[in-house]
Amino acid sequence: MQNHTNTLTKNNLTIRDLLRLAKKNNLDVDLIQLAYEFAEKAHKNQKRKSGEPYIVHPLAVAYLLVELGLDSETVAAGLLHDVPEDTPTTLHEIKKEFGKEIAFLVKGITKLGLVKYRGVDRYVENLRHMFIAMAEDVRVVLMKFADRIHNLQTLQALPPEKRRRIALESIEIYAPIANRLGMGEIRGQLEDLSFPYLYPEEYAWLMKKFGPHLKEKEELIQQLIAFLQKEFKKHHIPIVAIHGRTKHLYSLYQKLLCYNRDITKIYDLVALRLIVKDVSTCYESLGIIHEFCKPLKGRIKDYISQPKPNGYRSLHTTVFMPPQFAKDEVHGEIVEIQIRTKEMHNDAEFGIAAHWKYKEEDHKEVIADHRLDWMRQIVEIQKEVQDDQLLETLKIDVFQNYIFVFTPLGDVIELPEDATPVDFAYQIHTDLGDKCCGVKINDQIGSLNSKLKSGDVVEIFTAPKKQGPSESWLEFVKTNTARAHIRNYINKKNRSFLIVG
C-alpha cells in the first residue's frame, strides 16, 4: 500500500544515493557531482533549523527532481538553488562555473522565495514573477515544488507561526498550480504535508476517526490484489503492476465535508490501481473484473477515450468486491479500481514533468502540451491588467476547482466550478456565446444561469439573428473568457451609440 507522505523522498540521503539514481536515469553524473561539491563548499558550516547540515536540503531537492524524471541541468540547479540567497557565493559565479542555463534556473527559483506569504490578495506581485518564470521555463516551478515538499517534510523544526504560513502558501498557491499542471501526486503531497500544520484539530479528528477504518480497507485491498493476480493469470493477461492507494488525507477531508462527514458515501477511500501493457488490455481487463465484481451503476468512467482536459487518462470502475470479501450477507465491500498503462500512470502522477525528454541533438524541451496554455494566457493577460484584475483572473483560472463537461459530440470542456452554459458556449467559440439563447443539459431544457456539474452533456441553442450577449449575463458568468467577451460587446455598443448620438 502506498504511503503518500513519503513516496517521493527518502531520509538520510547521501550523494551516493543521488548519483546512483542519476546514473540509472542516464543523467550526467559528472555535472551533478560537480554541482554537489560546489554547493557543499558554499553551504559549509551552515545548519538547518533542525540542526542538520544545510546540504541535506539541496540533496533532497535534487533527488526528488531525478525521481520526477527531469534533466541533468535541473538536478544541478536543484543542488545550487539556495547558494545565491543563503551564502556569499553569487549568481555570477554560478553562471561562470555552470553556464547560462543552470544560472537561469537558479535565478528563477531564488526570485520565487523573496516574498513572505500573507494571503493571496497580498501576493499578486510574486505571482507575476512566478508565471513569467514558468512561461519562460516550466522547470522553475517544478524545482519549487521539490524545494517546498522537502521544506514541509522538515517543518516541525520551525516556529508555529512560520510553519502555518508555509503550509498556507503551499495549500493555497503551489497545490493548485500542481493540479493545473496535471501533477496529482505532487498536489497530494503538498496538501497532505500542509494539512496537520494548517488544520491540526481537523487532522487529529480525521486520524482518530478513520485511521482504523483505513487500515481495515487496506487489508481487504491486499486480499483483492492476490485474488486478481490469480484471475488474470488464468486469463493469460500479464500485469505490469498492481497496488492499493489510500486517498490523500486532505482530499479525503475535503470530500467528507461535502457528505456531512459520512464516510460510507466515499467509494474511493482506498483505490486499486491496475497497470497493464497497452490500451486494448485496459479494456480487456475491465471486462474480466466485471465478470466477478458487480459494477455500481453510473460509476464506470472512461477517461481513455475522453481524457480530462488536464491530460488525465485512465479507466475507472467502482465495484462490489467478490462475495467472499463481504462484511456480512447484506453489506458488500465497495472499491474503486483504476486501470491504465504505465505511460498513463506516470502522466497522472507527475503531469507535465512526465513529458520531459531529450531530443536527438541533445537540446531539451517539454513536449507541446495544452496544460501550459492557461499559463501562457495569464502571462499575456498580466501585461495589460492591474493587480486586482490579475487576482480575479488567477482566482478563476488557477486557484479554483474545475469541472469537466461534454459537448453532444463527446468533446470534453474544462470549466471552473459553478460555471454556466454561457461560460460553456464562450469556451467553445465566441460566436456561439454571443448568439446563445437556450440550453439542454443532459437532454433536459435548462436555464442559461444553471450551475453545471462534472459529467453534464451540454447542448447550446443559438438565435442566428441575435446581435450579441445580454448585459445581465455578467451577473452569473464565472470565466474570464465569457466576462471579457460580454464587456467587450457592451463597450463597443456604447461607443457606437455615442457616435450615432
> 416 in a domain, yes or no?
yes
> 393 in a domain, yes or no?
no
> 359 in a domain, yes or no?
no
Instruction: Give the number of other Cβ atoms within 10 Å of residue 326's Cβ.
Output: 13
| Residue 406, domain extent | 401-500
CATH label of the domain that carries residue 45? 1.10.3210.10
Residues 93 and 142 in one domain: yes
Residues 330 and 410 in one domain: no
Concerning whether 85 is annotated as a catalytic residue, the answer is: yes
> 24 in a domain, yes or no?
yes
> 72 in a domain, yes or no?
yes
Residues 60 and 205 in one domain: no
pLDDT tens digits for range 310-364:
678 899 999 888 877 665 444 567 888 999 999 898 888 777 766 554 333 344 4
Residues 12 and 159 in one domain: yes
Q: Which of 334, 350, 366 is the last residue of a domain?
A: 350
Residues 301 and 443 in one domain: no
Residues 368-373, mean pLDDT to the nearest whole number: 56
With beta carbons less than 8 A apart as the criterion, state whether 433 and 469 touch.
yes
Residues 128 and 222 in one domain: no
Residues 185 and 207 in one domain: no
Among the listed residues 30, 37, 85, 125, the single catalytic one is 85
Residue 421: predicted pLDDT: 94
Residues 340 and 413 in one domain: no
Residues 212 and 333 in one domain: yes
Burial code (b: 16+ CB inside 10 Å, e: under 16) for 133-161 equals bbbebbbbbbbbbbbbbbbbbbbeebeee
Q: Which of 132, 161, 191 is the last residue of a domain?
A: 191
Task: For residue 35, count CB atoms less than 10 angstroms from its CB and return exposed for 0-12, middle for 13-18, buried for 19 or more.
Answer: buried
With beta carbons less than 8 A apart as the criterion, state whether 256 and 321 touch.
no
Q: Which of 191, 225, 240 is the last residue of a domain?
A: 191
**15 has a pLDDT exceeding 80:** yes
Among the listed residues 17, 28, 67, 86, the single catalytic one is 86
CATH label of the domain that carries residue 490? 3.10.20.30
Please state the pTM of the whole predicted model: 0.73
Residues 298 and 425 in one domain: no
> 380 in a domain, yes or no?
no
Structural domains of the chain, count: 3
Residues 166 and 217 in one domain: no
Residues 181 and 254 in one domain: no
**62 has a pLDDT exceeding 50:** yes
> 374 in a domain, yes or no?
no
Residue 406: predicted pLDDT: 83
Concerning whether 475 is annotated as a catalytic residue, the answer is: no
Q: 451 Cβ partners below 8 Å, 6+ apart?
A: 418, 419, 420
Helices and strands counted in the chain (H then E): 21, 12
> 390 in a domain, yes or no?
no
With beta carbons less than 8 A apart as the criterion, state whether 8 and 65 touch.
no
pLDDT tens digits for range 258-296:
777 777 677 667 789 999 999 999 999 999 999 988 898
